[in-house]
């Protein structure tokens, strides 16, 4: 088989890139290790920056998002019994869109299918060869049969555990990582959200987050120990713990119910440099991971897709290699800013096992500064709604 762009990974990054390329008549093939149902079964964050909303529009996939998503003009932050709001619209003129990553992925699959996009599911043994030559190709197997895909470029959109990053030689790659000493226990429940905007809570018992998917679907998280497993937490225990971590006024009106999903996610910051090697480009989780505080994972994948899409467009439409040559540098500049924000917002809100009395005072001072200072709120709001591409 032959295509212009071989895309490894059919998560949101790979699908969005494939669909955007299609709008410009650039051919791609997506190779996905799992089934479509498996990919759509993953519950991830649900806050979209305007940049991603724009890309979904450009890809022709924004109709359901605009019909079913909610725009949020601000968020609440609590510590102890104090609560304050950061107004995104006031500080940046922009809201965020509440729409689940699962729905984004579903819409992208539908668009690819409607335009006869080529997606191979359940592929195995993907090997990228010749990435540093003008004739890259990808070997893989599907249903036991060996295949070869020749292409001009390879987009590595295969997430943190994919093969693309590993295809870049070790002496070229530099990795930066921070592992956090706790996880997030999340549940999804068919109950009305406790508040019409998200609540990020710093409490002496640990972080909590009240989020949502729609009027009758709530997503809640509590900071937990890395040694916990979801089965250690009954729904009752989860709700009781959540109530202890959010202000009393919110706890009193929290509507509880059975969970329909319960899982624990570890928290990690990770970046690999460079994001390009020859004709191989890394995109999204394949190149970087952020802790979920601030919901930057999907949004940072989206900004990579934006830079890569424009680089490829420039190559095919204008014969220019400028975008390709500057892809890694441009993407990484924004990635590091999202890393900084996610790290800062995590450190503002969580309890760390080795936190000293001084560290705790610094956290409260940081929160009080944010609460009382317009410039601090503006900086937070600009990062939360998404820095410019």
Q: Which residues are catalytic?
A: 72, 200, 292, 296, 384
Q: Is 162 in the site for ligand APR (CB under 6 A)?
A: yes
Strands (E), 95-168: 96-98, 118-120, 123-129, 137-142, 145-150, 153-156
223-240: burial string, b at 16+ Cβ within 10 Å, e else:
bbeeeeeeeebeeeebbe
Minimum CB separation of residue 60 from ligand PHB in Å reads: 25
Interface residue with ligand APR among 76, 157, 282, 381 (CB under 6 A) is 157
Phi/psi at 105 (nearest 5 deg)? -65, -40
Asked if residue 103 binds ligand APR (CB under 6 A), the reply is: no
Of 12 and 292, CB closest to ligand PHB: 292
Determine phi and psi for 308, rounding to 5 degrees: -70, -40
Handedness of CA 343, 377, 388, 62 (dihedral sign): positive
Q: Smaller CB distance to ligand PHB: residue 140 or 341? A: 341
Q: Is 10 in the site for ligand APR (CB under 6 A)?
A: yes
Pairing between strand 28-31 and 118-120? parallel
**Should residue 301 be labelled a site residue for ligand APR when binding is judged by CB under 6 A?**
yes
User: Considering only CA atoms, which of 95, 103, 106 is closest in space to residue 45?
Assistant: 103
Which of 6, 16, 30, 47 is close enough to bind ligand PHB by CB under 6 A? 47
Smallest gap from residue 342 Cβ to ligand PHB (A): 9
* Among positions 293, 346, 363, 377, the unique one binding ligand PHB when judged by CB under 6 A: 293
Nearest to 202 by CA among 326, 300, 76, 315: 76
Q: Does 13 bind ligand APR (CB under 6 A)?
A: yes
User: Is 49 or 285 the residue whose CB approaches ligand APR more closely?
Assistant: 285
301 binds, among ligand PHB, ligand APR, none (CB under 5 to 8 A by kind): ligand APR
**Three-state secondary structure along 25-80?**
CCCEEEECCCCHHHHHHCCCCCEECHHHHHHHHHCCCCHHHHHHCEEECEEEEEEC
CB of 142 to ligand APR, least distance (A): 10
List for the chain the helix, strand, coil content (%; round to 5): 40, 30, 30
Interface stretch with ligand APR, choices 183-191, 246-254, 293-301, 352-360 (CB under 6 A): 293-301
Question: Which residues ranging from 105 to 134 are in contact with ligand APR (CB under 6 A)?
Answer: 123, 126
CA atoms within 13 A on the CB side of 232: 10
Q: How far apart are CA 98 and CA 173, in angstroms?
A: 35
User: Taking CB under 6 A as the rule, does residue 34 contact ligand APR?
Assistant: yes
Q: Which does 11 bind (CB under 5 to 8 A by kind): ligand APR, ligand PHB, none?
A: ligand APR
Q: Which does 47 bind (CB under 5 to 8 A by kind): ligand PHB, ligand APR, none?
A: ligand PHB
Q: Does 163 bind ligand APR (CB under 6 A)?
A: yes
333: Cβ contacts below 8 Å, ≥ 6 apart: none
* Rounded-to-integer distance, Cα 77 and Cα 84, Å: 5
257 Cβ partners below 8 Å, 6+ apart?
189, 190, 191
Determine if 156 is a binding residue for ligand APR (CB under 6 A).
no
Site string for ligand APR, 337-366 (x = CB under 6 A): ------------------------------
Q: Is 211 in the site for ligand PHB (CB under 6 A)?
A: yes
CB 372 to ligand PHB: min, Å: 23
We find the least distance from the C-beta atom of residue 271 to ligand APR, in angstroms, to be 13
Residue 154 burial (CB < 10 Å; 0-12/13-18/19+)? buried
Phi-psi region at 212: left, alpha or beta (left = phi > 0; alpha = psi -120 to 50): beta
Given a contact cutoff of 8 angstroms between Cβ atoms, the answer to whether 338 and 295 are in contact is: no
Shortest distance (Å) from residue 229 CB to ligand APR: 21
Q: How far is the CB of 378 from ligand PHB (least distance, A)?
A: 19
- Contacting residues toward ligand PHB, per CB under 6 A: 45-47, 198, 209, 211, 219, 292-295
- Contacting residues toward ligand APR, per CB under 6 A: 8-14, 31-34, 39, 44-45, 101, 123, 126, 157-159, 161-163, 284-285, 297-298, 301
């Amino acid at each position: 088989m032959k295509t212009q762009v071989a895309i490894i990974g059919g998560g949101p990054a790979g699908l969005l890139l494939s669909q955007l390329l299609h709008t410009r008549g650039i051919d791609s093939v997506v190779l996905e290790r799992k089934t479509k149902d498996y990919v759509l079964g993953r519950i991830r964050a649900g806050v979209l920056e305007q940049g991603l909303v724009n890309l979904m529009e450009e890809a022709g996939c924004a109709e359901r998002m605009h019909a079913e998503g909610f725009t949020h003009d601000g968020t609440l932050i609590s510590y102890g019994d104090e609560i304050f709001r950061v107004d995104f619209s006031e500080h940046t003129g922009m809201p965020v869109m509440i729409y689940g990553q699962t729905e984004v992925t579903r819409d992208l699959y539908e668009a690819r299918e409607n335009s006869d996009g080529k997606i191979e599911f359940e592929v195995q043994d993907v090997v990228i060869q010749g990435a540093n030559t003008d004739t890259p190709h990808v070997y893989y197997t599907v249903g036991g049969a060996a295949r070869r895909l020749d292409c001009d470029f390879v987009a590595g959109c295969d997430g943190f555990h994919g093969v693309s990053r590993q295809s870049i030689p070790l002496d070229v790659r530099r990795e930066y990582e921070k592992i956090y000493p706790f996880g997030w226990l999340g549940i999804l429940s068919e109950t009305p959200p406790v508040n019409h905007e998200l609540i990020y809570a710093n409490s002496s018992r640990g972080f909590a987050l009240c989020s949502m998917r729609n009027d009758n679907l709530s997503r809640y998280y509590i900071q937990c120990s890395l040694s916990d497993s979801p089965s250690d937490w009954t729904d009752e225990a989860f709700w009781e713990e959540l109530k202890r971590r959010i202000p009393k006024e919110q706890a009193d009106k929290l509507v509880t119910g059975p969970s329909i999903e319960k899982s624990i996610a570890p928290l990690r910051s990770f970046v690999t440099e460079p994001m390009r090697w020859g004709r191989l480009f890394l995109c999204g989780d394949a190149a970087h991971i952020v802790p979920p505080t601030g919901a930057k994972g999907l949004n940072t994948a989206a900004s990579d897709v934006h830079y890569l899409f424009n680089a490829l467009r420039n190559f095919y439409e204008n014969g220019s290699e400028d975008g390709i040559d500057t892809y890694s540098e441009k993407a990484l500049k924004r990635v590091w800013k999202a890393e900084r924000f996610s790290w800062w917002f995590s450190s503002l809100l969580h309890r760390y096992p080795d936190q000293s009395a001084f560290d705790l005072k610094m956290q409260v001072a940081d929160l009080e500064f944010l609460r009382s200072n317009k410039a601090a709120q503006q900086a937070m709001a600009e990062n939360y709604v998404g820095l410019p591409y």
